């Protein structure tokens, strides 16, 4: 995974570990979707689906 995507995943995991800070996770996802596509995006999509139940793979 690309280092910047690894950092996104880690920040999301840290937010969930911090008393299920879902608003912080959503803010991280919002920040991530505003960045250009990069290696490791599939890992972020999978984590968003697993943590929040949001399927980002459909149109």
Q: What is residue 3's predicted lDDT score, i.e. its pLDDT?
A: 73
The alpha carbon of 55 is separated from its chain's Cα centroid by a whole number of angstroms, namely 12
Range 18-27 contact pairs with CB under 8 angstroms and sequence separation of 24 or more:
22/52, 25/51, 25/52, 26/52
Q: What is residue 1's predicted lDDT score, i.e. its pLDDT?
A: 63
pLDDT, tens digit, for every residue of 36-58?
988 889 989 998 998 888 888 87
Q: What is residue 57's predicted lDDT score, i.e. its pLDDT?
A: 82
Q: Work out the mean pLDDT of the chain and round it to a whole number.
A: 89
């Amino acid at each position: 995974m690309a280092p910047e995507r690894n950092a996104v995943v880690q920040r999301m995991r840290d937010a969930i570990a911090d008393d299920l800070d879902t608003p912080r996770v959503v803010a991280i996802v919002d920040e991530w979707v505003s960045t250009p596509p990069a290696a490791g995006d599939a890992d972020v999509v999978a984590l968003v689906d697993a943590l929040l139940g949001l399927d980002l793979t459909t149109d």
